[in-house]
Amino acid sequence: MSRTMDVQRERLPGLIRSDYRQTAADTGLAQPSDAVLHALQEVPRHLFVQKAFQDSAYSNSPLPIGNGQTISQPFIVALMTDLLLLKPSDKVLEIGTGCGYQSAILSLLAKDVHSLEIVSDLYKLSTERLVGLGYENVHVRLGDGYYGWQEEAPFDAILVAATADSLPEPLLAQLAPGGRMVIPVRDAEGREILQLVTKDAEGQLQVKDTIGVRFVPLTGGH
């Protein structure tokens, strides 16, 4: 890695902790978990971005990955992962594989990750990258994430990396009792709000708004 990347990588945990403190009133999380921070330190983010942006790979900011898509800000990756309260035995559904970075983070914290990507170029690139880097418990499929992955349901956790206009009913149905979903949803004023959805043992849903975010829109046939 370049000296620039080394410096950014050393500073990144402190920047993420600062963002957690500033948003704690809305998220309920005052600091990142050790497990999530360790996962972010383990996954080589510079191998998931385009070469032109590698010197900024460990900045606490989103970066373009091509096809009009982005790799999320590390703080947002950490927060969304932490909100899922993952256990090593969990099966996770990810909507929007993108470059595969979030998939790799999830793979270190859960038993299996099933990820859907609707853009064929990104599907090919992320699949090759994840296989090449040895993330064997990530299973990527080309498809419309709105409808989930019914054959593998139910899921203990669902992470949606694209903004929906409302909570997708197929994903709610595929969330296991006791499960948690994080998803950005556009409100009536057009703001994008990261929501935490929990399903209790009886199948009842609770939805909590957290912070304002910005993601690409959830696309597809719906």
Q: Mind listing the pLDDT tens digit for each residue in 206-218?
A: 999 999 999 999 9
Q: What's the first-to-final CA gap in the chain, in angstroms?
A: 42
114 has a pLDDT exceeding 90: yes
CB atoms near residue 130 (< 10 Å):
25
73 has a pLDDT exceeding 90: yes
Task: State the Cα–Cα distance between residues 115 and 105, nearest whole angstrom.
Answer: 12
Mean pLDDT computed over 173-189 = 96
Q: Which pLDDT score is estimated for 188?
A: 86
Is residue 89 part of the annotated active site? The answer reads no
Give how far Cα 72 sits from Cα of 20, 41, 54, 222, Å. 16, 15, 14, 24
Task: State the Cα–Cα distance between residues 20 and 27, nearest whole angstrom.
Answer: 8
Which of 73, 105, 75, 101 is closest to 92 using CA atoms? 105
Tokens (6 digits) for 199: 């399903």
- Asked whether the CA dihedral 157, 95, 195, 56 is positive or negative, the reply is positive
Sketch out the chain's domains with CATH numbers: 3-212 (3.40.50.150)
Task: Give the chain's mean pLDDT.
Answer: 95
What global pTM score does this model have? 0.95
185 has a pLDDT exceeding 80: yes
Which of 97, 88, 41 is closest to 65 using CA atoms? 97
221 has a pLDDT exceeding 80: no
Mean pLDDT computed over 70-96 = 97
Query: Where does the pLDDT of residue 5 fall: very low under 50, low under 70, confident under 90, or very high at 90 and above?
Result: confident
Task: State the Cα–Cα distance between residues 73 and 75, nearest whole angstrom.
Answer: 5
Q: Which pLDDT score is estimated for 215?
A: 93
Mean pLDDT computed over 140-166 = 97
Helices and strands, number each (H, E), in the chain: 6, 9
123 has a pLDDT exceeding 80: yes
The answer to whether 182 touches 195, Cβ cutoff 8 Å, is: yes
Query: Where does the pLDDT of residue 219 fall: very low under 50, low under 70, confident under 90, or very high at 90 and above?
Result: confident
1 has a pLDDT exceeding 80: no
- Quote the Cα angle for 199-202-208, to 5°: 25
Catalytic residue, candidates 33, 56, 59, 72 = 72
